[in-house]
Structure 1
Amino acid sequence: MVQSQIDHSVTQEAQQKVVQPSIASPEVSAQPNPTVVSEILEMIRWKRVMQVFFDGVLAFLSFAGAFLIRFDGHLNSHFFHQLLIFAPAIVSLRLLSNWGFGTYRRLWRYTGLTEVMELGCSVLTVTTILTIARALGFMSVEGSQLSYGIIAIDAGLCFLLLCASRVLRRLQTEHNQRRHWRQPVRKRALVVGAGDAGQMVLRELAQRADLGVDVVGMVDDDPMKLKKRIGSITVFGTTKELRN
């Protein structure tokens, strides 16, 4: 029974949260400071430059790692020369593809499934181009073609490194928010609805530690969802029981 597991104060706080999720202060001026705006834009430009540079480093590391894995860590002068010849072109292709798929218009601290799919499409596009070029004989150095195995290994490593860099950035941001906004008194709340919208609310509250809200449970009118868990949150009962 919902009443036996959640007290009346939790219910009131949950209803308040549903009715008034956010209220903007009317005293805040809607006109931004031009100096502040220019500083923010400049900061965004530098962040994008650093993102491109960091991705370039990761693309080179993945390509070099593919050679080391393919040849068990032993590179003779011929394959080392092959690595140095192809690396600039492949790194440039990776960066251009990322740019084309819009990955540098994304904020890394909000990385999700959409960003991962964009990275996957970017990596797959470059890998397809390299495979076609290899099949047509354009990936040859001193009469030796670039191995298909290296192309495949490079694709896997590059995808993993690019995704990992963004996921780590998101985890770091969430950790800093929780540490900075740790409050002695936090509000407890129920989330009404255990569907897609409810899951979005859970994710948002988990990322916004500054709101000071701890979700203690969920309610949903679908009997199939009762007592089920979404992440670490349990669906306790229905909205009818909540009103009672």
Structure 2
Amino acid sequence: MSYRRRLTVLAILDSFIVLSAIYAGYLTLHPYLAIFKLETLMLTSVTLLVSHHLFSFIYKLYNKVWEYASIGELVTIVKAVTFSIMTTAVVQQIVIHDIYFRALMLAWMLHVLLIGGSRFSWRIYRDRYIKPKTAEKRALIIGAGAAGTMLVRQLMNKRDTGIKPVAFIDDDRKKYKLQILGLPVVGNSSHIAKTVETLRIDKIIIAIPSLNKNEMKRIFEECAKTTASTKIMPMIEDVMLGRVSVNQFRDVEVEDLLGREPVELDIDSISEFLTGKTVLVTGAGGSIGSEICRQIGKFNPSKLVLLGHGENSIYQIDMELRSKYKSEFEIIPVIADIQDRYRMFEVMEQHKPDVVYHAAAHKHVPLMEYNPKEAVKNNIFGTKNVAEAADAFGVKNFVLVSSDKAVNPTNIMGATKRVAEMVIQQLDKESSTSFVAVRFGNVLGSRGSVIPLFKKQIQAGGPVTVTHPDMTRYFMTIPEASRLVIQAGALARGGEIFVLDMGEPVKIVDLAKNLITLSGYSIDEIGINFSGIRPGEKMYEELLNENEVHSKQVFPKIRIGKAALVDGPILYEFIASLHDKDSETLKKQLVEIANTKVGLREVMKEAASF
């Protein structure tokens, strides 16, 4: 129906209601008060009719979408009717020097009842008989708070979503057996499995924005006992800002079940550190490097240099940032290999960055066990090239992305990362540049991590391969890791190794079980095979050696440690000697030299004598 036609229909309907209300009021009272005078009735009718339409336009009563009518619309009707009655009373007093209060009060009540009823009855009729019926999934809403109520109201208004809310689950005992928007609160989270079976639930929707990770894991474990699919309602902030609709649900991700809260760093405090500065990120096309670039973009640097070896990955992050930030700051993609020392010096000289985030590295543990020379060339020589180029051209801050595998390493990847830390710590003593390292555990979803592998195995029908039932790792999300790296740069004084408080380590087998369940399968359907510990792997990871632990926290949930320093000449002599060593000697000496449980100085001297 067009706007003009709709307006005409509503105006005619309201005119009929207004006249009916005033006549009904006068006729009802006439036998008792003898007030039926034609002049008075005509004056009242005309005044009420004109004033009603006037206030209806003022309060936009004809512009309301009544299929979504609620208390707000009812209040608007009451206001329009009240002011029109008051106007009529004033006109009566001026013209006939009397006000017929009882008749006007009765007209007011009939007016509100009939106009409100006409609007809301249309909504009820439309919902029941006009809206197209679709195959609806019966949904159980977890959380009977503000978010759950908003969700149910939206689902009831938009029947084309194909989702029909049936009941609430809430752990607040005060709400048990009550009804909210016509839906019963049938129990707490321990009743999920029983409720799904009893009410024939197809879909479970978690609508508790304040839910922490432990509670999420507990609730999901209850949901996993059922055959219903489990979804999560989007964040309220995203709904309010219009980024997503309230009924745009997402799947439960493994990040939701880690049992630890994501670390929200105070990234506003680092705006002074990055705004208006030239920033260079190595490995900018990688999982961590690209997310660092996204985070940096929020602080409006003057120039962001994306350095990487992979043409396609640099192209992708370059296009993404250009699309998002338009021409807010200069974005320069640089294809270069950190092993090319001359090229690193050339890039530093050309762009003269204020801050360098060094995220380029070989990180795959088993692959590096088979290719130790490549690990040395990239992780040690490459880091040395970039760091010394930064020193030569006056970079203010240099942040090395390191790994928990650098602590007491048993593998070539961890050992090369530890030596890289030694290089930047030594340079920090010699340079005006502030050099720091950041250690964190495994990053969920990064290339080469366990999550994508598990997902592929599940999609292929299984089994999922886990190395050992007791294998544990620390985990964090890519945005968390990237924010930590940026925060560390702002906190740097020089020589530190920053470590995120990553909570409790997670068993890999538990991670595999959660992923299988999240994918809609039972563990028996997919299966889990234990393949044995791979070359270079440790059963448990550490974030700081006992000699490195400092009780001081420089930032909430960020610890700081200072690893044992070594003599520069011995370190550089040892690194130079790595060019001529075979793979087996490289492995032996690197692991030994990087293992800080042994006397570092003595090991360095011994290694340098080879």
After TM superposition, the score normalised by the length of structure 1 is 0.69
Change (3 A) 1:72 1:165: farther
Long gaps (5+) in structure 2: 190-215, 223-610
**AA in 2 matched with 1:138:** I
Q: Does 1:117 align with 2:78?
A: no
Higher Cα Rg: structure 1 or 2? 2
- 1:52 Cα deviation from its structure 2 partner: 1.4
- 1:165 Cα deviation from its structure 2 partner: 0.6
Equivalent position of 1:36 in the other structure: none
Task: Deviation per CA, 1:181-230: give whole Å up to 9, x if none.
Answer: 153xx312221320122122222222333322232332334344345442
Report the Cα distance in structure 2 between the residues aligned to 1:204 and 1:188, rounded to whole angstroms.
15
Equivalent position of 1:61 in the other structure: 20
Task: Determine which of 131, 154, 158 is the counterpart of 1:204.
Answer: 154
Which SS does the other structure have where 2:187 is aligned?
strand
Task: Determine which of 188, 196, 205 is the counterpart of 1:237.
Answer: 188
Equivalent position of 1:11 in the other structure: none
Task: Determine which of 143, 162, 167 is the counterpart of 1:193.
Answer: 143
Which SS does the other structure have where 1:205 is aligned?
helix
Is the CA contact (8 Å cut-off) linking 2:89 and 2:99 kept in structure 1? no
Change (3 A) 1:177 1:58: same
- 1:73 Cα deviation from its structure 2 partner: 9.2
Is the CA contact (8 Å cut-off) linking 1:68 and 1:74 kept in structure 2? no
Report the Cα distance in structure 2 between the residues aligned to 1:68 and 1:228, rounded to whole angstroms.
44
After TM superposition, the score normalised by the length of structure 2 is 0.30
- 1:45 Cα deviation from its structure 2 partner: 1.7
- Greater helix proportion: 1
Q: Does 1:91 align with 2:49?
A: yes
Q: Percent identity?
A: 20
Long gaps (5+) in structure 1: 1-39
Change (3 A) 1:72 1:199: farther
Higher relative contact order, structure no. (Cα contacts within 8 Å, ≥ 6 residues apart): 1
Task: Determine which of 74, 88, 94 is the counterpart of 1:138.
Answer: 94
- 1:80 Cα deviation from its structure 2 partner: 2.9
Equivalent position of 1:173 in the other structure: 126
Is the CA contact (8 Å cut-off) linking 2:47 and 2:91 kept in structure 1? no
Change (3 A) 1:177 1:46: closer
Task: Determine which of 52, 66, 69 is the counterpart of 2:11.
Answer: 52
Equivalent position of 2:248 in the other structure: none
Report the Cα distance in structure 1 between the residues aligned to 2:179 and 2:121, rounded to whole angstroms.
26
Change (3 A) 1:59 1:229: closer
Change (3 A) 1:223 1:242: farther
**AA in 2 matched with 1:181:** K
Change (3 A) 1:227 1:62: closer
Change (3 A) 1:73 1:60: farther
Aligned length: 194
Equivalent position of 2:431 in the other structure: none
Task: Deviation per CA, 1:3-38: give whole Å up to 9, x if none.
Answer: xxxxxxxxxxxxxxxxxxxxxxxxxxxxxxxxxxxx
RMSD of the alignment, in Å?
2.6
- 1:114 Cα deviation from its structure 2 partner: 0.7
Equivalent position of 2:116 in the other structure: 163
Change (3 A) 1:61 1:81: same
Report the Cα distance in structure 2 between the residues aligned to 1:148 and 1:226, rounded to whole angstroms.
46
Moved more, 161-170 or 103-112: 103-112
Report the Cα distance in structure 1 between the residues aligned to 2:150 and 2:49, rounded to whole angstroms.
36
Which SS does the other structure have where 1:181 is aligned?
coil
- 1:115 Cα deviation from its structure 2 partner: 0.7
Equivalent position of 1:149 in the other structure: 102
Change (3 A) 1:58 1:216: closer
Which SS does the other structure have where 2:49 is aligned?
helix
Report the Cα distance in structure 2 between the residues aligned to 1:221 and 1:200, rounded to whole angstroms.
18
Moved more, 118-127 or 212-221: 212-221
**AA in 1 matched with 2:28:** I
